[in-house]
Amino acid sequence: MEPDALLFAGLGLAAGALLAALVAVLLLRRAGGRTDDRSAELEARLRQLAESQAATQAQTAESLRAQERALAEALDNRFGDFAKKVGDRLQESAQAQGSTLGELRERLAVIDKAQQNITQLSSQVVGLQDILSNKQARGAFGEVQLYDLVTSILPPSAYSFQASLSTGVRPDCQLLLPNPPGPIAIDSKFPLESYRALRDAGDEAGYQAAMRTFRRDVQVHVRAVQAKYIVPGETAESALLFLPSEAVYAELHANFPELVEESYRARVWIVSPTTLMATLNTVRAVLKDVRMREQAGVIQAEVQRLLDDVRRLDERVGKLQRHFDQSTEDLRQIRISTEKVVKRGERIEEVQVESGESGEGLEPPQVSRPHAAE
């Protein structure tokens, strides 16, 4: 029960008891059978009862106020704990939601970037389809791809683009190889309409018709390359037909092997970007070998001159060695003469010393004259 309700209940009980006492007094007075003393005693008791009731009401009110304060404190404590728990839970929830929103933003950023990449890729695919559907654009696309492959592998002296032949035709590229085999022409224009019809065929009849058209277009193009880009005495006996699509190259070798064999007989080699790269690497090795053979004669001549110089140097060193030997012999003869001169000088000195010690009158010893040969 609430504190205010308890207080009002106590006050109501006290008021009810006082009202009952007053009613009892009035009834007694109406009865008229009581004396004044009895009335006085009753009044005194009523006053005591009223005082007692007032004290009881005061105590009750005080007790109720104390209970109210205690209950208010307990409620404040509980409300404070509850508010603290709610605040902690709200803070934890806010942090969790913040981290979740951060992860969500990061994932949305990744998804947005992926969407942008997909959009760019879609636009590029659409652009590639537009290029492949247009003959002139497709030819330019093949030429650019061919240009990138050739220039990235071969040196500038090993190729030529759009160079005219004596017949007036201009192949897309020529590999300038020495004779034999000579320059090899490369054509990068290939009909893809029939291939696209072949891939888009919806039924067996359409597929068979597309196969016939594709076979005819490839045969015509191979013969055209053979007729235009293989010139006896000017170019090599073969030419390259460049396909800028690995899919078309795979389709030819998988489902049209007779066309590949026919191109071999016509000496028109069909290459894709991958096989052309391998071919160009082989051409680079061949050119390097040719240059090494060309320089081999120059190297041999230089080595021969170097051997001649070494021979002359050896002769001059031999002459110098003979001069050194003659000088050594002359020095040895000079040493012999100087030793003899020193010995004879010592003998002369000994003779003079003996003469000084023996006194005057002694004849000096006879000194033999050296022979002319000595």
Q: What is the pLDDT of residues 161-201, one digit of tens each?
A: 888 888 888 888 998 888 878 889 998 887 777 788 888 88
CA nearest neighbour of 148 among 177, 172, 176: 172
**Could you tell me which residue, 109 or 15, shows the higher pLDDT?**
109
DSSP 34: S
**Residue 131 in this model has a pLDDT that exceeds 60:** no
Q: How many angstroms separate the CA atoms of 360 and 341, rounded? A: 28
- Do residues 280 and 150 touch, judged by C-beta distance below 8 A? yes
Handedness of CA 359, 362, 365, 366 (dihedral sign): positive
Would you place residue 94 in the very low, low, confident or very high pLDDT band (cuts 50, 70, 90)?
Answer: confident
Residues in the chain: 374
pTM above 0.75, yes or no: no
Amino acid code (one letter) for 128 = L
DSSP 373: T
Mean pLDDT of the residues in the chain: 78
Rg of the chain taking only CA atoms, in angstroms:
65
Q: How many angstroms separate the CA atoms of 13 and 55, rounded? A: 14
Q: What is the pLDDT of residues 1-28, one digit of tens each?
A: 444 555 455 555 555 555 555 655 555 5
Sequence-ordered list of residues with C-beta below 8 angstroms from that of 47, at least 6 positions apart, any chain: none
3-class DSSP assignment, residue 181: coil
Token couple for 100: 């979740």
Q: What is the mean pLDDT of residues 92-115?
A: 83
Sequence-ordered list of residues with C-beta below 8 angstroms from that of 255, at least 6 positions apart, any chain: 211
Q: What is the mean pLDDT of residues 305-315?
A: 88
Q: What is the pLDDT of residues 213-259, one digit of tens each?
A: 888 988 899 999 999 998 888 888 899 999 888 888 888 888 888 98
Whole-number percent of the chain with pLDDT over 70: 78
Degrees to nearest 5, angle at CA 216 with 173 and 172: 5
pLDDT score recorded for residue 233: 84
3-class DSSP assignment, residue 374: coil
CA nearest neighbour of 175 among 225, 224, 239, 230: 239
Amino acid code (one letter) for 278 = A
